Amino acid sequence: MLADNLLRVRQRIRASCEKSGRSADEVRLVCVTKEASLDQMREILRLGAGIFGENTVQGALSKYRAIGDKAKWHLVGHLQTNKAKDAVRIFSLIHSVDTIRLAGEIDKEAKKISKIQDILIQVNVSGEETKFGAAPDAAKGLLKEISSYPNIRVLGLMTIAPEVDDPRLTRRYFRRLKELFDDIGGLQILSMGMSNDFEVAIEEGATMVRIGRAIFRSDGRYE
């Protein structure tokens, strides 16, 4: 079941890459494991998918203790400053940095363990008030400020598109983040696209997709 789902997701990633004239190895898959069991995660590892995305530090901790560094761990959800200490110990990439205060805390905690913490800046491209993320206009300034922290390395940008029925709208948000990504320049990772919109995201330039339900739901369905 899981193997079929994963295979299908990989095929769809490859097809989207082909459709948009990109090479399939340009897009990395983060398996979002927030609803997955340890058994499922171990199976996914055996199937050769090695990046797990969790949306809270709390949720990741016990799984990390059980599985450890056999996987790479990404934090895809919001990070509270008081959890930065645990976050830098677990995650190889934090997708959700959106304030200078949070970056400062990450830098401080990373320094304590002599780590350079890789991060992405989360951008709220839709302007929805319920979403975390820096405003697109502020992202460049934030990135510049964060770049002065010695124990943080900014690798790229991340966004969560709003759930809308019209895929053309979703495309517009992804396109906007890609424009910002190109405008800033020198970045490697563009993290956008989830189970319901990853194909559009890849067509618009995503280099990393974060997929949970299409892999871990029993039938791979997510409608």
Ligand X SMILES: *Cc1c(COP(=O)(O)O)cnc(C)c1O
3-state helix, strand, coil in the chain (%, to 5): 50, 20, 35
Q: Give the interface with ligand X as residue ranges (CB under 6 A).
A: 32, 34, 55, 76-77, 160, 194-196, 210-214, 222
In angstroms, give the least distance from the CB of 150 to ligand X.
27
Which residue, judged by CB position, is nearest to ligand X in the bound state? 212
- Whose structure tokens read 């943080």? 152
Q: To which H or E segment does residue 13 belong?
A: helix 2-19
For the chain, the residue count is 223
Residue at 65: amino acid letter: R
In angstroms, give the least distance from the CB of 158 to ligand X.
8
212 close to 220: Cβ distance less than 8 angstroms: no
In the complex with ligand X, the residue whose CB is nearer, 171 or 213, is 213
In the complex with ligand X, the residue whose CB is nearer, 40 or 196, is 196
In angstroms, give the least distance from the CB of 222 to ligand X.
6
In the complex with ligand X, the residue whose CB is nearer, 34 or 42, is 34
Calpha distance 95→215 (Å, rounded) = 20
In angstroms, give the least distance from the CB of 176 to ligand X.
18
In the complex with ligand X, the residue whose CB is nearer, 86 or 108, is 86
In the complex with ligand X, the residue whose CB is nearer, 156 or 212, is 212
CA pseudo-torsion sign 91, 149, 107, 174: negative
In angstroms, give the least distance from the CB of 148 to ligand X.
27
